[in-house]
Amino acid sequence: MQLDINDEFEKSKSLLDTILRPLHWFGIWSPQRSIMDDVKFSILVTYFTIHLVMMCYDLIMVFGDLESIVLNLMESGVQSIFMLRVLVLRFRKHFNLIVISLRDEISDGNYKDSFERNTHVEFSSMARFYDRIVMTLGIISSFSWYLMPLQNYILAWLFNGEMTLNYPYRMFGGNNSSSTKWNVIIYIYQTPVTFFPICYLSSYGLMMMAIIHICEHMAILSYRINNLSEYEKTYDVLSNLMGEFVEKRTKALRLTKIIADGFDTVLLYELIITTVLVSLISYNILLNIDNFAVLEIATSTLFVISIMAVIYGYCFMGQFLITESENLAAACYGCAWHEMPIHFQRSLLIFMKSSQIPLQLTAGRFYVYSYRNFTNIMKSSAAYVSMLRAVI
pLDDT in tens, 326-383: 888 888 887 777 777 888 888 888 888 888 888 888 888 888 899 999 998 888 888 8
**Residue 205 confidence class, pLDDT cut points 50, 70, 90:** confident
Strands (DSSP E) along 281-374, which ranges? 362-363, 367-368
Domain that holds residue 52: 2-391
Q: What's the number of domains the chain is made of?
A: 1
Q: What's the Rg (C-alpha) of the chain?
A: 25
Query: What b/e sequence results for 309-331 when a residue is b if at least 16 CB atoms lie within 10 Å of its CB, and e otherwise?
Result: bbbbbbbbbbbbbbbbbebbbbb
Q: Tell me which amino acid residue 286 is.
A: L
Report yes or no: 211 and 252 within 8 Å, Cβ to Cβ: no
The CB-side HSE value for 327 (13 A sphere, CA atoms) comes to 17
Mean of the per-residue pLDDT values of the chain? 81
Phi, psi of 174 (to 5 degrees): 155, -175
- Other Cβ atoms within 10 Å of 14 Cβ, number: 12
pLDDT above 50 (res 263): yes
- Say if residues 40 and 27 touch (Cβ distance below 8 Å): yes
Query: What's 179's DSSP letter?
Result: -
Flag whether pLDDT at 108 surpasses 70.
no
Q: What is the mean pLDDT of residues 37-55?
A: 88
| 144-154 burial: b if 16+ Cβ within 10 Å, else e | bbbebbeebbe
> What distance in Å separates the CA atoms of residue 283 and residue 111, rounded to the nearest whole number?
50
Considering the entire predicted model, what is its pTM? 0.85
CA distance 15 to 11: 6
Nearest-CA neighbor of 146 among 176, 189, 191, 86? 191
For residue 341, CA distances in Å to 227, 239, 330 come to 16, 11, 20
Q: Which residues pair with residue 367 across a beta bridge?
A: 363
Length of the chain: 392
Residue type, 347: S
Rounded CA-CA distance 347/350 in Å is 5
Tell me the pLDDT band of 3, cut-offs 50, 70 and 90. very low
